[in-house]
Amino acid sequence: MMLAAVALAAPTVRAQELPRKVENVEVLDLDGEPARLPHFGEKHLMIFYVDPDRHKQNEDFTVELEQNHRAESDNIYGFGVMNLKDAPMVPNGMARNMARKRTAKNGATVLADQDRILSTAWGLGDCNNKFVLMFVTKEGELVFLRKGELTEADKEAFYEVLDQYR
């Protein structure tokens, strides 16, 4: 019984260990074509990995981040990845159309992960119904990871990371 508990906890422990090396992965662009994560290894990456079922989770934070320009830097590239596998109630085409409309307004890059490729490859654990905020250095190290509703402490920790890598 103890061995089973340790085996079940191992993926969770791995998902929490930071910093850790991650590799670029291939997901899809909004037209369904294969796409690698942009600027991986060239710039620091701020990534929003979002379940479309919970696309408004942390909306105040993302709007504030956009308005205060705190993440703007020649060294940082921010983009979103839709976690489509965990959003069975939102058809993929509909999610892509919503993303196209949003990107037309703000010029953001949004990719689509139909099969949990990113979350599996990076050992993120359960991302269902969660907004996942990540920061990856240009050296390929995942140095920040928070899932779900961000607390004030989470936001401050994220801003500290941003300031470190600007």
76-83 and 44-50: which strand pairing?
parallel
Tens digits of per-residue pLDDT, 118-152? Answer: 999 999 999 999 999 999 999 999 999 999 999 99
Give the full edge-to-edge strand order of the sheet including 20-21: 20-21, 141-147, 131-136, 44-50, 76-83, 110-113, 26-28, 34-36
pLDDT for 156 beyond 50 = yes
Spatial separation of the C-alpha atoms in residues 52 and 44, rounded to whole Å: 24
Range of the domain at 68: 2-165
Cβ(114)–Cβ(92) under 8 Å?
yes
Cβ(126)–Cβ(148) under 8 Å?
no
Strand (E) or helix (H) holding 13: helix 2-16
pLDDT for 15 beyond 90 = no
Q: What is the CATH number of the domain that holds 52?
A: 3.40.30.10
pLDDT band at 14 (very low <50, low <70, confident <90, very high): very low
For the chain, what is the domain count?
A: 1
CB neighbours of 63 closer than 8 A, spacing ≥ 6?
Answer: none
pLDDT band at 163 (very low <50, low <70, confident <90, very high): very high
Give pLDDT, residue 27: 97
Give pLDDT, residue 10: 43
Tens digits of per-residue pLDDT, 48-106? Answer: 999 988 888 999 999 898 888 888 899 999 999 999 998 866 666 777 767 777 766 66
Give pLDDT, residue 9: 44
Give pLDDT, residue 92: 66
